[in-house]
Amino acid sequence: MTRAVSNLHRSAWADWWEGTRRTDIWWTLAWFDIVLRYRRSMLGPLWLTLSMGAMIGGMGPLYSSLFGTELSKFFPHLALGIIFWSFFASMVTDACNAFVSSSNYLKQGYFPISLFVWRSMARNLIQFAHHIVLYVPVAIWAGITPSWSMLMVVPAMLVALVNAHALGLLLGLVCTRFRDVTQIVTSVMQMLMFLTPVFWLPSSLPGRAQYILWNPFAQMLDLLRTPLMGGVAESHNWYGILIWTAMTLIASSVLFNKYRRRVVYWL
């Protein structure tokens, strides 16, 4: 039996682990994606930082005036909201095309499909690293002092990455089989951007509208943003996001176990 055939008959866990452990492959592919995107550019990936900084700098004073909020309090809220939402949105939309955009690899030889989900995540983590540096000057300007509560962003980020990988497997499989789902997901993410407190303050909502804060992106955003602003995230957001994480892990595990071998035939 050839290696390619034996790999196709591996268990779902062995297939997932084979793709996960090959950090040398998926991290290199992700870095090349960034390099090729900014090939022959003088500033290279620094354009990611500059474009995000220009957007935050332009929107901060405007939205602060619209909401009648002191700029020193609103600016960190807006900056972190835009940075993290950009991270969420790119993770989800890229997950839809994780396998389609890697069809040339999957058609030419055996590769565990989880490898290409990690590739998509690594590419977005590199972009996120270029964006999050903007938080430092904003925090200094707003007078946010470091505190131990900021360490809570570490477990929150780990939970976000677990969700990103589970959603990557789930959406990658579904969108490869049903290509229209990619457009649906893109439209839903555009709608959720306005239903999530990215540009506005949760305190500005009337009581009956608080239900929109139940969406998992609003909960994840609170867990990541609040510690970096010197506060403590609401405990119900931890409960909500952990339940959502369990649901995505179960759904992605079922689909991955049942349909992972069919991806190459759907491309």
Q: 164: burial class by Cβ within 10 Å (0-12, 13-18, 19+)?
A: buried
Angle ∠(106,112,115) on CA atoms, nearest 5 = 95
pLDDT in tens, 124-147: 999 899 889 989 988 888 888 888
Q: What's the whole-number average pLDDT of the chain?
A: 86
Average pLDDT, stretch 50-70? 81
Residue 164 in any domain: the answer is yes
Residue 212 in any domain: the answer is yes
Residue 40 in any domain: the answer is yes
Reading the block at residue 95, the tokens are: 């997950």
Instruction: Indicate yes or no: pTM above 0.85.
Output: yes
Total structural domains within the chain: 1
State the pLDDT confidence band at 5, using cuts at 50, 70 and 90. very low
Average pLDDT, stretch 26-40? 84
Residue 94 in any domain: the answer is yes
Distance CA 170, CA 253 (A): 8
Higher pLDDT, 176 or 71: 176
Residue 5 in any domain: the answer is no
Residue 92 in any domain: the answer is yes
Domain with 102 in it: 12-266
Q: Where are the alpha helices (DSSP H) in the chain?
A: 3-8, 12-21, 23-37, 46-67, 71-96, 103-108, 114-132, 135-142, 153-177, 180-195, 216-228, 235-259, 263-266
Higher pLDDT, 39 or 81: 81
Average pLDDT, stretch 15-25? 87
Residue 1 in any domain: the answer is no
Residue 20 in any domain: the answer is yes
